[in-house]
A = this chain, B = another copy of it.
Amino acid sequence: MAIAANLRKEPGEKAKSFDSLVALVQDDLEKVNRQIVERMHSPVDLIPQLAGHIIAAGGKRLRPVLTLASARLAGHQGERHVKLAACVEFIHTATLLHDDVVDESELRRGQASANALFGNKPSVLVGDFLFSRSFELMVEDGSLPVLAILSRASSIISEGEVLQLITANDTETTEEAYLEVIRSKTAALFAAACRIGAVVADRPQADEEALDSYGLNLGIAFQLIDDVLDYSAKQAVLGKTVGDDFREGKITLPIILAFRRGDDEEREFWRRTVERLEQQDGDLEHAFHLMEKHGTLNDTIARAREYGDLAVAALDVFPDSPLKQAMADVVDFCIERAY
């Protein structure tokens, strides 16, 4: 594929991928997938049907893989991380279901979204089911510290989602407010997914915090790149529509920077299109042009790199190992998606 060439940071350096980390936790991940299928079961058939649709729809299992990898990096020898990785995926899936209802999304990973296929009502309720089931699984595991970390993360996620609703269509949204949104709605679950790895391995507080920091900064980088990808032609390859955020008036960093750096005429363009949502043919192209002119997509990627560097640095407390290297490579992989 032509894109592969772009992935190279230095001539000769191999593109980073998610595969090496997945390979290192492959056996555990298969157990997680079995847990997910078993535990989304309900006598009410529509629940596993709808949940299965979204869970099977080609997700990368990034978050549960992070739980598995973090637990192993922290030295966990048992199996507890398998069930907890399934919990993390259930929470993530529940938030996706509710997100798609809230965003009125038609597509998810290139397929019809659950709400488009089954309707909003069962999507809301099956999200609730997965969320509750996730807590049931945590109770089975029996660790109050894990329950504390994941219930706190869940509260923060919904706070972030509400904050995102409020900042939607507001061109005055600051970079700080935007970062607060993505820290809450995305990075908090990455942080929690990693942190519980240290908890099941009974590691000291410092290791918990190191893995939390790795997850948090990786999560921020991941979401920054996601927001860049919304304006990238690569979106089509990923089965998504280009410019969804623009059409919905979702104010992400590429727009925040373009608005701040723009002249009066440009600001009026942004107000008309993403604040008042009075859009016409050619607007998306003009938005691209303004982002290009002010370099805001590249600057967003640069910010993502900074957070990515923090994520990798957080792993310093752990001795070198192929697993640690693969976790560092995942950071590059998340950022290189942008190219």
Interface residues of chain A, those whose CB is within 8 Å of chain B, are 42-44, 46-47, 94-95, 98, 101-102, 120-122, 124-129, 131-133, 135-136, 138-139, 142, 144, 147-148, 151-152, 154-155, 157-159, 161-163, 165-166
Contact A136 B151, CB 8 Å, known A98-B124, A98-B125, A142-B144: yes
The smallest C-beta distance from A132 to any residue of chain B, in angstroms, reads 4
- Which chain B residues border A121 with CB–CB below 8 Å? 102, 165
- Which chain B residues border A135 with CB–CB below 8 Å? 135, 147, 151, 154
Q: Which residue of B lies closest to A94 (CB)?
A: B128
- Which chain B residues border A144 with CB–CB below 8 Å? 139, 142, 144
Whether A155 lies near B132 (C-beta < 8 A) is: yes
Interface SS of A by simple majority: helix
Whether A44 lies near B163 (C-beta < 8 A) is: yes
Q: Which residue of B lies closest to A137 (CB)?
A: B151
- Which chain B residues border A165 with CB–CB below 8 Å? 46, 121-122, 125
How far does the alpha carbon of A98 sit from the alpha carbon of B44 in the complex, in Å?
A: 19
Whether B46 lies near A128 (C-beta < 8 A) is: no
How far does the alpha carbon of A152 sit from the alpha carbon of B42 in the complex, in Å?
A: 12
- Which chain B residues border A101 with CB–CB below 8 Å? 120, 124
- Which chain B residues border A151 with CB–CB below 8 Å? 132, 135-136, 138-139
Contact A139 B148, CB 8 Å, known A124-B102, A159-B44: yes
- Which chain B residues border A139 with CB–CB below 8 Å? 144, 147-148, 151
Q: Which 6 A-B pairs have the closest CB atoms?
A: A132-B154, A129-B158, A135-B151, A132-B155, A128-B158, A102-B121
Whether B147 lies near A47 (C-beta < 8 A) is: no
A131 CB contact (under 8 Å) in B42, B128, B138, B166? B128
A125 CB contact (under 8 Å) in B44, B47, B126, B158? B158
Whether A128 lies near B44 (C-beta < 8 A) is: no
The smallest C-beta distance from A228 to any residue of chain B, in angstroms, reads 25
How far does the alpha carbon of A94 sit from the alpha carbon of B155 in the complex, in Å?
A: 13
Whether A159 lies near B42 (C-beta < 8 A) is: yes
How far does the alpha carbon of A94 sit from the alpha carbon of B132 in the complex, in Å?
A: 12
The smallest C-beta distance from A124 to any residue of chain B, in angstroms, reads 5
- Which chain B residues border A131 with CB–CB below 8 Å? 128, 131, 154
How far does the alpha carbon of A183 sit from the alpha carbon of B336 in the complex, in Å?
A: 51
How far does the alpha carbon of A124 sit from the alpha carbon of B232 in the complex, in Å?
A: 30
A158 CB contact (under 8 Å) in B126, B152, B159, B163? B126
The smallest C-beta distance from A63 to any residue of chain B, in angstroms, reads 17
A155 CB contact (under 8 Å) in B136, B154, B163? B136
Complex A-B: 5 CB contacts under 8 Å: A42-B162, A46-B162, A46-B166, A102-B125, A147-B147
